[in-house]
Structure 1
Amino acid sequence: MYTVAAFYRFFALSDPQALRDELHQTFVNTDLRGTTLLAPEGINGTMAGSQESIDRFLTLLDERCGLERSEVKFSTTETPPFRRLKFKRKREIITFRAENPVDPTRPGTYVDPADWNALAADPNVLLLDTRNTYETEIGTFAGAVTPPLNTFSDFATWVTEHLEPTQTPKVAMFCTGGIRCEKASAYMLQLGFPEVYHLRGGILRYLQETQPSESRWNGDCYIFDERVAVNHDDLRLEEQTED
């Protein structure tokens, strides 16, 4: 059984290359697989391996980056979801080509999965999916607006062309694990949108913590490994297996 850990954290990382080299040297000869991106704005990755390797990896990230276990999304799988181990130095941990720089450390308001349904059902809220079209086509929340995005970088252009801050007072955003909607929420606040919310832990945490009978999610959730997509049953089964 492989443990899968999906995570990100926006923070000022002073020397991404040094941390990248430390991670590579520490884990290159272990069973850890997956990709972790490192940039001046923080870290972002999904890693898989034995429980021992994942624990060791996350302990190091907690020490170096302040990444708390409560912010990591866990799942399990019987087949290896990744074939190689990659630690990459990047300009951004999530590419977002806005006209002006975005400060991701000043995002919108987090909404826990337990409170998401009430916010999403509010008729005065614009429920906005920040994922790509190939992801939204296989699943999204009931009532969500799904912009035709080929890449996340298209989001900034779509917002400026289709939305006005004075006409859209409340926006609730979501994505797979939380990183895209968090950065997008910071961008929309910088544009002057007065109330911007985003789903803490993304769709993955919502599916894991929400009973299917109470869910507003329709379809499957695309993920970026060899499992391709997951749903309520997959994640809740994995949670039970871990127990």
Structure 2
Amino acid sequence: MEESRKQPKRALYNKYDREELQKRLDAEDFTRRTVSFYRYVIIENVEEMRDRLYAMWDDLNCLGRIYIAREGINAQMNVPEHNWEAFVKQLYAIEQFANVPFKIAVEDDGKSFLKLAVKVRNQIVADGLPETEYDVTNVGRHLTAQEWNELMESGESIVVDMRNHYETEIGHFEGAVLPDAETFREELPEVLDKLKGQEDKPILLYCTGGIRCEKTSAYLKHHGFENVNQLHGGIIDYARQIKEQELPNKFRGKNFVFDDRLGEHISEEVISKCHQCGKPSDTHTNCKNVACNLLFIQCEECAAENEGTCSNECQDIIHLPEEEQEVIRKQWAKEGRTKKRYSKPC
């Protein structure tokens, strides 16, 4: 008994820096499967569930970013192929997540995440809404890719993109309403305003994997919209279905994803432009000046010329000694310049 008390408590968090994590990932001699899933379900003890999932997935060498809240789970992660069956079996053994549907990445090199992070949040998707503004048990009709295409072709539906402007810039469905918002919180009231007076028309909602549409459909139904539909599994599963069933592809361009890939092609079209030179490009990158970290679109030529930075100022900064860069990071943080920001096209 005394011996067991001396055992160190297991660390339920990552202990390595990015460089070490990258070396470990590059040295792997097996493949990984990138997967995303979500479920709205009441979780009574969120902290306990968080620790349970972290320990379970750490044992299986899974990597990813997972949010847990009282209202459910939102996960983007990768799983070693040789541990996939164990991953599914263990997750489905948890009552709240039994038979949760998975969305598998269509373009996947297994390098989507470097570490495992399971974080507790107030909501799995931040919306800023009081609970009286929606009922997640009263959501829209879920559509297959074929049903989605048919309703789009009918010409009677209004297609609404429930993603942020930097996501829609590189890819979207033909003729979709594209809100000019940087956060889901900003987007909900904007969409409601754009759709006013059209409560009786068929509304087609879509997003990356379906989770934002789930809440949006409940929000619109709460505000009097009668015919609300959502793309089941989002763009990720739409890409899988049209490929397997040889269906027409109504999506133009690239799907933004929230991992180190920052995107996967759904069609071969490039519908966006480099934010620095204006040439066709759909490659997002974060400015190499860590103090800046601006997310923007940069073509290969500009990436080489500007060394992966967004401005002359940032390019100068990355050549300073590390001690000076650290001073700048602290100063920019003090000035509020390190908040997550996104570049818009000129």
Instruction: Note the 1:44-83 alignment, pairs <5 A.
Output: 44-64=74-94, 65-68=96-99, 71-75=101-105, 77-83=108-114
How does 1:200-215 map onto structure 2 within 5 Å? 200-211=232-243, 214-215=248-249
1:35-50 equivalent positions in 2, closer than 5 A:
35-50=65-80
Residue in 1 aligned with 2:220? Answer: 188
- Paired residues of 1:42 and 1:93 also in contact (CA < 8 A): yes
Aligned match of 1:119: 151
1:32 deviation in Å?
0.8
Whose strand fraction is larger, Structure 1's or Structure 2's?
1
* 2:118 paired residue among 51, 64, 87: 87
> Against the structure 1 CA distance between its residues 151 and 67, is the aligned structure 2 distance closer, same or farther, given a 3 Å change threshold?
farther
Deviation at 1:52, TM superposition (A): 3.5
Unaligned runs of 5+ in 2: 1-30, 269-346
1:96 matches 2:131: no
- Alignment partner of 1:197: what SS? strand
**Residues 190-214 of structure 1 deviation map (CA, whole Å, 9 limit, x = unaligned):** 1110110000000011111114771
| CA–CA separation in structure 1 for the residues paired with 2:165 and 2:220 | 20
Give the aligned residue type for 1:193: F
The structural deviation recorded for 1:10 is 1.0
Compare CA radii of gyration and give the structure with the larger one.
2
SS in 1 for 2:184: coil
Aligned length: 233
Question: Deviations 1:156-178 (Å, cap 9, x if unpaired)?
Answer: 22034332255552211000101
Q: CA deviation at 1:137?
A: 0.5
Alignment partner, residue 171 of structure 1 = 203
Query: Using a 3 Å threshold, how does the CA distance of structure 1 residues 232 and 169 change in structure 2: closer, same or farther?
Result: closer
Unaligned ranges ≥5, structure 1: 235-243
CA-atom RMSD, angstroms?
2.1
Contact 2:32/2:110 (CA < 8 Å) preserved in 1?
yes
Counterpart in 2 of 1:31? 61
* 2:46 aligns with one of 16, 25, 31: 16
Kindly state the Cα deviation for residue 95 of structure 1 after the two structures are TM-superposed.
1.0
Residue of 259, 266, 269 corresponding to 1:232: 266
User: TM-score with structure 2 length normalisation?
Assistant: 0.63
Query: How far did 1:121 drift?
Result: 2.0
Contact 2:255-2:266 within 8 A present in 1 as well: no
Q: Which amino acid aligns with 1:219?
A: G
CA gap of 1:83–1:168, structure 2 versus 1, over 3 A, is same
Aligned pairs (5 A) from 1:149-160: 149-160=181-192
For the Cα contact (< 8 Å) 1:109–1:197, is it kept in 2? Answer: yes
SS in 2 for 1:220: strand
Q: After TM superposition, which residue ranges in structure 1, 4 or more long, deviate above 4 angstroms?
A: 165-168
- If asked which structure has higher relative contact order (CA below 8 Å, sep 6+), I would say 1
Please give the alpha-carbon distance, in whole angstroms, between the structure 2 residues aligned to 1:127 and 1:52. 40
Give the fraction of aligned pairs with identical amino acids, expressed as a percent: 29
